[in-house]
Amino acid sequence: MEETDEQRPARLDVGVVGTGRVGAVLGAALARSGHRVVAGYGVSVTSRSRADALLPGLEMLEVAEVFERADLVLLTVPDDVLPGLVDGLANTGAIRSGQFVVHTSGRFGVSVLDPATRAGGLPLALHPAMTFTGTSVDLQRLEGATFGVTAPELLWPVAEALVIEMGSEPVRVAEDQRALYHAALTHGANHLVTLVNDAMDMLRAAGVALPERSLAPLLSAALDNTLRQGDDALTGPVSRGDSGTVAGHLQEIDRAMPEATAVYTALARRTAGRALASGRLQATDAEPLLEILASDPPE
């Protein structure tokens, strides 16, 4: 989606509160599009190093000083810190009328910024649906990524333009749906990391020296097929109702990596439910499979 001159916001002085993996990258993305990143705040040595790498020469200041210098402030802090931070900033008069206050939390919409709004701030919730390394690689990954955007209707054009300028696509997320939106992304991405690492550990236990070589083409194809075909992409013993194979899996997982047995069982049950609903698994084949999944691993 290409922005027009009418959509493009004025060049803004940007401050970044929290120059960690997300903040430093988004600051660099805004700088790349012509905005001026004028001040940052970061506590850890790592955060300051990221600012040096991605925003060379950036002046690191206290939070109140960042607000003094910026037309738009990115609050890229942990979710649990955000409400108290906003409340404190509003109470101390750090936020001025007409200043954009933008957070990047997936969990919250704009209501968490209510204290800033009452102080005259202009609230935006822009959550990048992307995992970050805190390096320049992330700037490339932002191209074609999406941002979950929640904003007052009057501010939607500004939110949309900012996201587009960073090379990404804005997706509207209603205020009361932010938690579910964030849960979906967490379930899909963060739990995928756990799942893949468990699979690699099992392969190592099976004597495979380089498990990533076995998994990379398989998982890449599975992900691509799923995004294109949905439940029709499902293959494997659960979709076939092969209860004997699943029982054998449970026995071996319980022997080699017992902490993963419950996870395999839960995912197999969920997979069976989806396979039944989509017609890929017949009820007659599902019955013995579900009995196996409802019992303890075979001895």
**Is residue 256 a contact partner of residue 205, using CB atoms and an 8 Å limit?**
yes
- Please check the confidence at residue 1 and state whether its pLDDT lies above 50: no
Give the Cα separation of 278 and 226 in Å (integer).
Answer: 14
Nearest residue to 12 via CA among 208, 204, 161, 233 = 161
- Please check the confidence at residue 7 and state whether its pLDDT lies above 90: no
Taking only the tens place, the pLDDT of each residue in 14-62 is 999 999 999 999 999 999 999 999 999 998 999 999 999 999 999 999 9
- Please check the confidence at residue 125 and state whether its pLDDT lies above 80: yes
Which band of pLDDT confidence, cut at 50, 70 and 90, is reported for residue 10? confident
Which one-letter DSSP state was computed for residue 186?
A: I
pLDDT score of 296:
63
- Please check the confidence at residue 90 and state whether its pLDDT lies above 60: yes
Taking only the tens place, the pLDDT of each residue in 203-220 is 999 999 999 999 999 999
Give the Cα separation of 89 and 30 in Å (integer).
Answer: 23
pTM exceeds cut of 0.75 = yes
Q: Both tokens of residue 184? A: 């979906």
Which one-letter DSSP state was computed for residue 88?
A: H
Average the pLDDT over 253-270 and give the result.
Answer: 97
The percentage of residues in the chain with a pLDDT greater than 70, rounded to a whole number, is: 96
Strand 122-128 with 146-150, pairing:
antiparallel
Give the Cα separation of 48 and 73 in Å (integer).
Answer: 17
Q: Which domains are assigned to the chain?
A: 13-173 (3.40.50.720), 181-294 (1.10.1040)
Nearest residue to 50 via CA among 74, 73, 79, 27 = 27
Average the pLDDT over 253-261 and give the result.
Answer: 96
Cα torsion at 95, 126, 109, 115 (round to 10°)? 0
